[in-house]
Copies of this chain bind each other. A is one copy, B any other.
Amino acid sequence: MKNLFKITFLLMSNLFMSLTISAQLPDPGFIIDEYTAIVMTDPQHDFLSPEGVAWDVVGKSVTENNTVENLESIFVLAKEHGIPVFVSPHYYYKHDHTWKFEGALEELMHHINMFDREDQLVVEGFEGSGADWLERYKKYIDQDYVTVASPHKIFGPEQNDLSLQLRKQKIDKVILCGMSGNLCVESHMRELIEDGFEVAVVGDATGSAQVPGFDGNAAAQTNFKMISSHVYSTKELENTLKSSKK
Interface residues of A (CB under 8 A from B): 17, 20-21, 24-28, 56-57, 95-96, 98-105, 107-108, 111, 119-123, 126, 147-148, 150-151, 153-156, 158-161, 163-170, 172, 182-183, 186-187, 190-191, 193-199, 209, 211-216, 218-223, 225-229
Contact = CB atoms under 8 A, between A and B. Distances in A.
A163 B193 CA distance: 12
A128 to B, nearest CB: 13
A153 B167 CA distance: 13
A61 to B, nearest CB: 13
**Which of A150, A183, A187 has the most B CB atoms < 10 Å from its CB?**
A150
Contact of A104 (B153, B168, B225): B225
A216 to B, nearest CB: 6
Which 7 pairs, one residue from A and one from B, show the smallest C-beta to C-beta distance? A167-B196, A219-B219, A159-B161, A99-B168, A158-B194, A219-B222, A150-B150
Contacts of A228: 103-104
A28 B186 CA distance: 22
Contacts of A164: 153-154, 158-159, 194-196
Given A168-B99, A169-B99, A154 B193 contact: yes
Given A24-B108, A56-B24, A167 B195 contact: yes
Contacts of A194: 154-156, 158-159, 164, 187, 191
A26 B194 CA distance: 29
Contacts of A103: 28, 193, 199, 226-229
A101 to B, nearest CB: 5
Q: Which of A170, A193, A229 has the most CB of B within 10 A?
A: A193
A38 to B, nearest CB: 15
Contacts of A57: 24
A226 B105 contact: yes
Nearest to A22: B211
